Structure 1
């Protein structure tokens, strides 16, 4: 009677599944080491993957808010530059008015001063009209601009704009006579006060935005750190895990080899 022996029966019954498990663990560890990210797919850790997704979304939103704030600062700086140019021209107008109000000047002298004043008034009107940011006028409308300065609803910083097109220095100053020059002094003082108040408002707005930028930057750093702690690979721990996987794999392979030798020996005895 012939005897049929299945040598696989003598191999450790769990060694195959153990080898597969160790190989998968080694593969996961290698992926974490090569990518620098310990959670490469949802199956690695569903709970942590959800947390990483939320933190990633928050980081992106914070970065967009930071861009918004930087644009708001740029807008304020453009407006302040326009106000500064207008203020310089108004100040020059006042100097001309002081000169024209002097009784020693002739009508011809005042006519020359008036011509320069007319050019300055045109420059002022042009500056007010042309001071814009991304196509939006900044000096000729009474309205507010809202900057989304945070990632949440209601995280906004508002800038109240002013319409400077009604300044006296945009066309109503007349230095052709001594009386007109004297009247212009009070008008130009009112303009300078209006410009000073608006410039102060713009400066305060810029300070608020810069403070918001500092807060956002710190929030970005903290959120990035939190995400890194959850997501990034602990190299030392992962190296230890990889080494352990390699040792376990060698052990399983050794057990399989030994089991194979035993089975072959038994088969030889049975067949002998």
Structure 2
């Protein structure tokens, strides 16, 4: 028997220390309700659940975004309802003024009311806003023009560019190319191509890429797209291209063209891309980048509705006004229909996003939350072990005391 090292007590103390540590973690899980309180509890589970948490919070915010979008649409649609009512009244007055039972003086009085109604349409268009954002004065109308790029065709061919400035140029073929489709999205941002050179060798033609806010884009391995018409027939052709830094275009090719064919590129107005782009509203309706939808609300003021010249002070002017006002009514109806369709879509989006968030929340819960019944069983077991260890440690400490009997 030895007394310098009480191995039984040391072994018991070590076992009790392990039990105490496990019991502490069990108490932490029971008190927090979480199976994973730190990375050490389950490193892989923590990483997976954190990604899920990001998705859940993103989806919840996307649902709120969609609800805000519906509120914006309802604000715009409510204002357009009044615009509709005003236009119907104007049409009614125009029909009345066309009737020859009215004198010229009567028609002038009717025109005075029309003037006031037009002023009210402009007031509605200028003042309708949501969160200080103007809705009906055209700033949310979306892109008005698309600016296209230039293509290189196999062998020698002619090129014509139409718009404010039209020209033809002959350039060298650079080998086989690829076909793709029109339209560009880079990380959810619509990219338009603005040509900066229309003569010389097209193997060194410079291009600039712009985002929706008109800022120049830098990057690599981007795609450029355009619409091509051949003999008046619009083709679904496109091009695959790579870009160097600062958006310079290189190596753009198109296949399937024959020698001598003319490819027409419509540049629209000869404006800077920043001016061509407009402020289409974008709603983020998903948890990830690019999960967006757009809303375009056209200018709903008098000039945009082509009502500036409406004058019912004469019989013939009133007859013309009926047609113009009817066209304006149809424009407003079309805009309201689009807004109504988008509102319905956002309502479906909210339900879908909420369901997705709920399902991911359930998955995250299964990974991260503790099973209380199971953990209580574990805690009870550890508690019994702790009490047994305390008792055994007392017994182990009593064993060396028997040596004293030998010294009596």
Q: TM-score, normalised by structure 2?
A: 0.62
Residues 1:215 and 2:352 are matched in the alignment = yes
Q: Give the Cα separation in 1 of the matches to 2:376 and 2:3.
A: 43
1:150 match: secondary structure: coil
The number of residues matched between the two structures is 267
2:240 aligned partner: none
1:160 aligned partner: 296
1:224 aligned partner: 361
> Deviation at 1:221?
0.4
Residues 1:248 and 2:385 are matched in the alignment = yes
2:25 match: secondary structure: helix
The change in CA–CA distance for 1:77 and 1:95 in structure 2 (over 3 A counts) is same
CA root-mean-square deviation: 1.8
Task: Determine if contact 1:146/1:158 at 8 Å carries over to the other structure.
Answer: yes
> Deviation at 1:138?
2.0
Q: Which runs of 5+ in 2 are unaligned?
A: 143-279
If asked which structure has higher relative contact order (CA below 8 Å, sep 6+), I would say: 1
Task: Determine if contact 1:52/1:231 at 8 Å carries over to the other structure.
Answer: yes
What's the CA shift string for 1:170-207, capped at 9, x where partnerless? x3221212222111111111111111111111111112
> Deviation at 1:10?
5.5
2:300 match: secondary structure: coil
2:97 aligned partner: 100
Task: Determine if contact 1:11/1:263 at 8 Å carries over to the other structure.
Answer: no
2:404 aligned partner: 268
What's the CA shift string for 1:6-44, capped at 9, x where partnerless? 3x5153432111111111111111111111112111112
Which of these residues, 265, 272, 284, is aligned with residue 148 of structure 1?
284
Q: Which runs of 5+ in 1 are unaligned?
A: none
Q: Give the Cα separation in 1 of the matches to 2:289 and 2:53.
A: 18
> Deviation at 1:117?
1.2
Residues 1:179 and 2:316 are matched in the alignment = yes
2:328 aligned partner: 191
Q: TM-score, normalised by structure 1?
A: 0.92
1:55 aligned partner: 52
What's the CA shift string for 1:51-99, capped at 9, x where partnerless? 2221112212222222222222122111211211111100111111111
Between structure 1 and structure 2, the one with the greater Rg is: 1
1:37 match: secondary structure: coil
Q: Give the Cα separation in 1 of the matches to 2:127 and 2:117.
A: 15
1:118 aligned partner: 115
What's the CA shift string for 1:137-170, capped at 9, x where partnerless? 222223121211111232111112212231134x
Which of these residues, 127, 132, 144, is aligned with residue 124 of structure 2?
127
Which of structure 1's runs of 4+ aligned residues deviate more than 3 A? Answer: 10-13
The change in CA–CA distance for 1:127 and 1:270 in structure 2 (over 3 A counts) is same
2:10 match: secondary structure: coil
Task: Determine if contact 2:6/2:397 at 8 Å carries over to the other structure.
Answer: no
2:342 aligned partner: 205
Task: Determine if contact 2:3/2:400 at 8 Å carries over to the other structure.
Answer: no
Task: Determine if contact 1:10/1:260 at 8 Å carries over to the other structure.
Answer: no
Higher strand proportion: 2
Higher helix proportion: 1
Q: Give the Cα separation in 2 of the matches to 1:269 and 1:11.
A: 20
1:257 aligned partner: 394
Q: Give the Cα separation in 2 of the matches to 1:271 and 1:68.
A: 86
The change in CA–CA distance for 1:199 and 1:243 in structure 2 (over 3 A counts) is same
